[in-house]
Amino acid sequence: MNAPRQLTWNGSPVPFIAPWSRETPRAGTIVRASRATGIAYADEFAAADRRNGILWVRYSVLRGAGQPNLAGVHPLRQRQAMSHMLCQVCAKSTYDDAFSRWGGRHLFLVRADRGQPIREGETTATPPICGPCAIESVRACPELRKGYTAALVEHPQPWGVAGTLYDPRTLRPMPAPTRDGLTFVNYEDPQLPWTLAARDVVTLLGCTTVDLDRLAAHGATV
What is the contact surface with Zn ion in residues (CB under 5 A)? 87, 89-90, 130, 133
Angle ∠(186,163,55) on CA atoms, nearest 5: 85
Of the pair 133, 150, the CB lying nearest Zn ion is at: 133
The DSSP letter of residue 59 is: B
Q: How far is the CB of 129 from Zn ion (least distance, A)?
A: 6
Q: How far apart are CA 125 and CA 181, in angstroms?
A: 13
Q: How far is the CB of 87 from Zn ion (least distance, A)?
A: 3
Of the pair 39, 89, the CB lying nearest Zn ion is at: 89
Question: In whole angstroms, how large is the CA radius of gyration of the chain?
Answer: 18
Of the pair 58, 101, the CB lying nearest Zn ion is at: 101
Of the pair 8, 52, the CB lying nearest Zn ion is at: 8
Q: How far is the CB of 146 from Zn ion (least distance, A)?
A: 21
Q: How far apart are CA 20 and CA 77, in angstroms?
A: 12
Q: How far is the CB of 187 from Zn ion (least distance, A)?
A: 28
Q: How far apart are CA 190 and CA 73, in angstroms?
A: 26
